[in-house]
Structure 1
């Protein structure tokens, strides 16, 4: 386990590069936009499904 941790730290130091601040900001905006779009799509599907279920049960009960 100790060897694994040492090798992981060594790999992080030697092989991992962080993006620039500007690139990170751009990526953050992309993630935020897609998160909002996904949330709106989920809300829309939920609303439609809720209405369909409500209409079904109104039809079955009446």
Structure 2
């Protein structure tokens, strides 16, 4: 079972389709940003606290 399949396990068909769309959109955006020389801009969940990604911190 792939990582993405494990994320979808237990979701109904509509939720699985929506999750696949969100993953595909995220990958496409990250790929376009990488081609443009940008790092992905997203928050990193580190358990009980949230922080900006290391790439975001280094850009400041």
TM-score of the superposition, structure 1-length normalised? 0.45
Higher strand share: 2
Higher helix share: 1
Q: Which structure ranks higher in relative contact order (CA pairs < 8 Å, sequence separation ≥ 6)?
A: 2
Larger Rg: 1
